[in-house]
Amino acid sequence: MGADGAEVVGAIGAGLCVLVGVTHDDTFANARKLADKLWHLRIIDDENGVMNRSVADTSREILVVSQFTLYADTGAGRRPSYIAAAKPDHAEPLVAAVVDELRLLGATVATGRFRTDMHVALVNDGPVTLFIEI
């Protein structure tokens, strides 16, 4: 349980917090490619303060949270449209495939719970927030 009494579903120490959005034409090949990219992306400082290490080289910990709102279209009006976000029956297996592939690569992966409201706490230790499109 968290300090507020809420159930903690997934937690990691130092590592990556990954919000995964899925759109209609995403595939299992995209999921595998994303997992590989996340595992090997050199965005963690080395001993000289240079972003030269990956999560594979360091903590090996990744928190994966499904986030359909990443595909919000705010181009028209004041209410976001989520038409570009994949339906749950398409998105859930692909998010699970990213998690499975990361685990095969050697990651310690924690997850949120699909189709639930979640409170995600993050300490962003450094200047890196990326949008990765596969």
DSSP 30-78: HHHHHHHHHHH---EE-TTS-EEE-GGGTT-EEEEEE-GGGG-B-SSSS
Measured in residues, the chain has a length of 134
Catalytic residue among 23, 27, 28, 69: 69
- Catalytic site includes residue 69: yes
- Residue 104 CA to residue 115 CA, distance in Å, equals 24
Catalytic residue among 23, 28, 58, 67: 67
Q: Which amino acid is present at 35? A: A
- Catalytic site includes residue 111: no
Catalytic residue among 23, 27, 28, 68: 68
- Catalytic site includes residue 67: yes
- Which helix (H) or strand (E) element contains residue 96? helix 88-105
Residues forming the active site? 67-69
